[in-house]
Amino acid sequence: MTDTIYVLNGPNLNLLGMREPEIYGSDTLDDIAGMLEDRARELGVAVDVRQTNHEGHLVDWLHEAQAEGAKAVLLNAGAYTHTSIALLDAIRAVRTPVIEVHLSDPKTREPFRHLSYVGMAAVQTVEGLGARSYIVALEAAAAL
Ligand code: CA2
């Protein structure tokens, strides 16, 4: 059976490519999903790419990733990265490894982006590479 890697995206990432290209690049989330599907095929894994603006959906999907036996989760929790103890608890609650992903490098931005609850529990963080952050994270997940 082909291993599946969940790629979970949080609030406002559905607007990628439409605003602030100088920070987040000009690729849409659909563009990134296409790149991930192409690279996943080369790596012999499958990706399941999702986006939500709701914190609890991300928690539910982390639980689902474990229940469905996903190999790993790539998680760009958007601004919930910096606020959500619920996500920290969920990542700690599941055995599925979670890799934190960011397009920008939050540590070089406003001070309120320097704290990452996701990063406290993730096995790895890939950030600051634009859309390529997702590809590098996918390669790391496939190698786990
Ligand atoms: O760099 C990242 O990937 C972030 O997770 C993006 C989040 C931000 O809150 C994190 O600190 C870093 C914001 C995503 C918002 O996406 C937008 C898309 C288009 C226009 C404006 C925002």
What digits encode the pLDDT tens for the residues 74-121?
999 999 999 999 999 999 999 999 999 999 999 999 999 999 999 999
Quick check: is 80 catalytic? no
Residue of the CA atom closest to atom 18 of ligand 1:
16
Backbone angles phi, psi at 27, to 5 degrees: -75, 140
Q: Comparing C-alpha atoms, which of 97, 92, 41 is closest to residue 71? A: 97
Q: How far is the CA of 9 from the centre of ligand 1 (A)?
A: 10
- Tell me the Ramachandran region of residue 139: left when phi exceeds 0, alpha when psi lies from -120 to 50, beta otherwise: alpha
Tokens of 52: 């939500």
Would you say the CB of residue 78 lies under 6 angstroms from ligand 1?
A: yes
H helices present in 55-131, as ranges: 55-67, 85-93, 117-121
Burial of 1 (0-12, 13-18, 19+ CB in 10 A): exposed
Active site residue 24: yes
pLDDT, tens only, 16-55:
998 888 899 899 999 999 999 999 999 999 999 999 999 9
Instruction: Tell how far the Cα of 2 is from the centroid of ligand 1, in angstroms.
Output: 31
